[in-house]
Structure 1
Amino acid sequence: MKQLHGTGVALVTPFREDNSVDTDALARIVHYNIDGGMDYLVILGTTGESVTLSQQEKELVIHTVVAANGGKLPLVLGVGGNNTALVVSELQQLDLDDFDAILSVSPSYNKPTQEGIYQHFKAISAASSKPIILYNVPGRTGSNMLPQTVVRLATDCKNIIAIKEASGDMLQVAELIGQKPEDFMVISGDDFTALPTVLAGGVGVISVLGQGLPKEFSSMIRLGINGNPSEAYALHYTLLKGMELIFKEGNPAGIKAVFETLRLSNALVRLPLVEASKDLKEQIVAFMHAFYPVHA
């Protein structure tokens, strides 16, 4: 699965003023990331506000991204939840022909034990016709998928090929990289730890900020993968303020403000999220001015 090395982005779902999915803006964002040198695209993840989309809207997002991508980049589809039977049923019904893998988040709210997490993903593995990327994000799910559980799943389920690790804990990342099967991939799910994860032996990142600054973010990751840490960290430090700003009032409010600055889409999000504040937008415009002064 070399196509999933490097920089992937968790795409936003833009909305119009009437709260409908803005397919024109979504297509523009896809083209912008293709032109910016992104390695692959992730659809209907957390950043895509998938939990607020109807099934019909999810199908519209999939159709829009697949058509705009035109086969240029590998695609990953988010399929997860805290009802194991429902996730299994969805996987059995979905047409996954256009996708290289699925991304499935560890169950939220239920707070399962490590055995519960293992059994959840074992059931998903049996139902999936595509390779699976696990997604560990304790800050959202309320539980942490420990390295021992990940290694167990990677060993027992051959179609579980990677993890998007967003614990933000580099000790946990290092432990996982040290214990994992050789061909199992550790992908950073956190912009702040993306470069350290790559330099520790990870294969890349699924980024949020990267979709707003695809050239810069993908260049940083490539430099890290190719063993140029000093040049990679120089880019990391130029991007650090942007990483801080886009998460300041929650994701994806911040990255949608970036796209508003770039004039690719507006900054609207769906409740219970709210749009970035005027103050945050002004800070994001100032940050983006250093990269794209024409738009700022």
Structure 2
Amino acid sequence: MILVFGQSGQVATELQRLQPDALFLGRAQADLSDPDACAAAIRAHAPRVVINAAAYTAVDRAEEEDALATTINGDAPAAMARACAALGIPLVHISTDYVFDGSGEVPFAPDHPTEPLGAYGRSKLKGEQGVRAAGGTYAILRTSWVFSAHGNNFVKTMLRLGAERDSLTVVADQIGGPTPARAIGQACLTIAQHLQTAPEASGTYHLSGAPDTSWAGFARAIMAEAGLHCEIADIPTLAYPTPARRPLNSRMDCSSLSVFGLDRPSWREGLEDVLRDLKGNS
């Protein structure tokens, strides 16, 4: 049995579609603000593998809720990892490009020094450190710019605004890889299966959609694919201030995913899938 922390988030929702017989624990069953409860859930269910698809993801609010973000993103994954290590089962934990400072233009390798810009990135980095320190079998999967037909994300925001307005201004100097939540879910399942027979593959990996683009470039693709006549004007990050600093460079080197037979997913294909899902839901 696969145990998944998360139930309503983007990746957890896709995992339910991909692996409906897995056990999904939402906040009512395992609240990540109580790390001991998360560890107890693992011991109680004794699964063959654990996937942590739950997190505190409110990047700006984390600046004011640093302690809560750190508990959910830092302490809870560490507690999960220790419980998994004690039972000898693998843990797949999802992390983020926000552990880096976003400098330069070269894609970040998994072993590149980390230097988060804000509270959210610091909390996710603490989680990574806790997972590694537990000494068990694990994979940390860093990803970026997640989108799907579920929850709140950039694609759904652009579709809503694009239907309401003739033009929008969108940041053009942040560069990264939009990543379909479905591709992340599939990668988690593939990695989890691999780790059960090859624990030596434990480590940190990157998964982001290809090709790299800007938020403005992504927005134009969304409008074109959806048939919306909304013009996108480029602006710099400085023209759109937010409580938390965003990394300008979110490019990630995903080449080590070849260990699992995985490659970067096409975000354009993922976007087509999401638009089909949204059309079907409506």
TM-score with structure 1 setting the length: 0.33
TM-score with structure 2 setting the length: 0.34
